[in-house]
Amino acid sequence: MIEPFTLDIPQADLDDLRDRLARTRWPEEEPGEGYGQPLARTRELAARWQAFDWRAQEAALNQWPQFTTAIDGQRVHFLHVRSPRADALPLVLTHGWPSSVLDFLDVIEPLSRDFHLVIPSIPGFGPAGPTHDRGWSVDRVARAWAVLMQRLGYDRYGAQGGDFGSGISLALGAIAPEKVVGVHVNYLPTPPPASTEGLSPQDVDRVGAIRRFLAQRPGYQVMHSTRPQTVAYGITDSPAGLLGWVGDRFDAWKDPESGLDDDRLIATVALYWLTRTAGSALRLARESTPGGPPCPVPLGVAVFARDIILSARGVVEQTYDVRRWTEFDRGGHFPAMETPDLLVADVRAFFADLG
């Protein structure tokens, strides 16, 4: 059963949030760079959050048709925006962490000119609510998406995503290759090859960067993939704690020149807080393991210059059927919010080339 959904946070929850923010017990000032999210930055964001107009954010999301359905024992929340074109290709857009369906608000209208859009919340994130059992990995989410698209009557469709959304989209292509016409990603980490022989100088540099990243995995990544529940207590009980945890990643991963408004960060943090999914969203990293069956469908890759790591084309082409590869000189890890014009144009061109 598919049921209409409207996001409507109780006023009591908003009042409680403001009260908690006002009573934050702040830590001492950090001794300098390299210790994490600066105190001054987090206090600035907290003050902005106290004055944030959540009802306007709700209205921005609720202007689009939303629904919920149960799949594999879990509530799945999704936006479903049909194109005015009867022959439009269905396209499922998947967010990552620390993101949500709010990432896509700026791309819905332009993409819906050419695609029927299905934009689900990953189970454990935002309006989907917390997950209730173990095993919600990237692969299991992809299987849920295959059921969702079938339930909506779509037998032929594309997939797009970044961060965890990239892995989910690729897994969907591997699970349902007869239905997925192509996958477009804006983030594609790949294991470094044993040898860089034959790679371009640029690819050699990128493989080196990937090796350094893996050799010194960021602390947040280690905690998410091993002890997510330990982190969950602090970010579920303290809005300032959640703001510091997520804000640190937003500030590190965005392109500083993209002009990404702090209200977009606050809206994402607020959605996690108000749906009580800050902790459950971390479990995806704990439940998922690298690898999985290769994705055999055509692939499009958009590489944004300030992303966490940059994909090496020569390595990717050893595994995937790359049909489009675009290098952008700007943009970071959140292109749907930072550079929506570039992302929309690349997605449109990739699927148009597939015919």
DSSP 43-96: HHHHHHHHT--HHHHHHHHHTS-EEEEEETTEEEEEEEE--S-TTPEEEEEE--
Instruction: Please report the pLDDT score of residue 279 as a whole number.
Output: 97
Question: In a 3-state reduction of DSSP, which class is residue 274?
Answer: helix
Mean pLDDT confidence for 57-77: 98
Average pLDDT over residues 36-53: 96
Residue 278 pLDDT > 90, yes or no? Answer: yes
Cβ atoms within 10 Å, residue 14: 15
The span from the CA of 196 to the CA of 218, in Å, is: 25
Tell me the pLDDT band of 285, cut-offs 50, 70 and 90.
very high
Q: Is it true that the peptide bond before 4 is cis, omega within 30 degrees of 0? A: no
pLDDT of residue 34: 85
Predicted local distance difference test score (pLDDT) of residue 190: 86
pLDDT at 351 over 80: yes
The pLDDT value given to residue 32: 79
pLDDT on residue 293: 80
The mean pLDDT value for 90-98 works out to 98
Distance CA 270, CA 274 (A): 6
Q: Considering the domain boundaries, does residue 331 fall inside one? A: yes
> Is residue 29 assigned to a domain?
no
Q: What is the mean pLDDT of residues 85-113?
A: 97
Bridge-based pairing state of the strands 157-161 and 89-94: parallel
**Residue 199 counted as domain residue:** yes
Q: What CATH number does the domain containing 85 carry?
A: 3.40.50.1820
Domain limits at 240? 2-23+37-354
pLDDT of 355 over the 80 cut: no
Identify the DSSP state of 183. Answer: E
Within-domain flag for 218 = yes
Residue 32 lies in a domain: no
Q: What is the pLDDT of residues 15-41, one digit of tens each?
A: 999 999 999 999 998 787 889 999 999
Strand arrangement of the beta sheet that strand 115-120 belongs to: 2-5, 66-71, 74-81, 115-120, 89-94, 157-161, 180-185, 299-304, 322-328
Separation of alpha carbons 230 and 223, rounded Å: 8
Given a cut of 80, whether residue 120 has pLDDT beyond it is yes
Q: Is the pLDDT of residue 292 over 80?
A: no
Instruction: List, as one string, the DSSP characters of 111-163.
Output: HHTTEEEEEEPPTTSGGG----SS---HHHHHHHHHHHHHHTT-SSEEEEEST
pLDDT of residue 90: 98
Cα–Cα dist 234/8, whole Å: 25
Residue 72 confidence (pLDDT) above 90: yes
- Please tell me the predicted confidence (pLDDT) of residue 189: 86
pLDDT of residue 294: 87
Asked whether residue 99 carries a pLDDT value surpassing 90, the answer given is: yes
Distance CA 351, CA 175 (A): 19
Strands 115-120 and 157-161: unpaired
- Does 328 score more than 80 pLDDT? yes
- Work out whether the CA dihedral 47, 49, 53, 55 comes out positive or negative: negative
What is the pLDDT averaged over residues 304-314? 96
Instruction: Determine the pLDDT at residue 263.
Output: 97
Percentage above 90 pLDDT, the chain:
93
CB 307 within 8 A of CB 73: no
Number of domains comprising the chain: 1
| CB half-sphere exposure, 89, CA atoms < 13 A | 23
- Assign 143 a pLDDT band (cuts: 50, 70, 90): very high
For 9, counting Cβ atoms within 10 Å of its Cβ (0-12 exposed, 13-18 middle, 19+ buried), the class is: middle
Looking at residue 33, what is its pLDDT?
82
Per-residue pLDDT for 60 more than 90?
A: yes
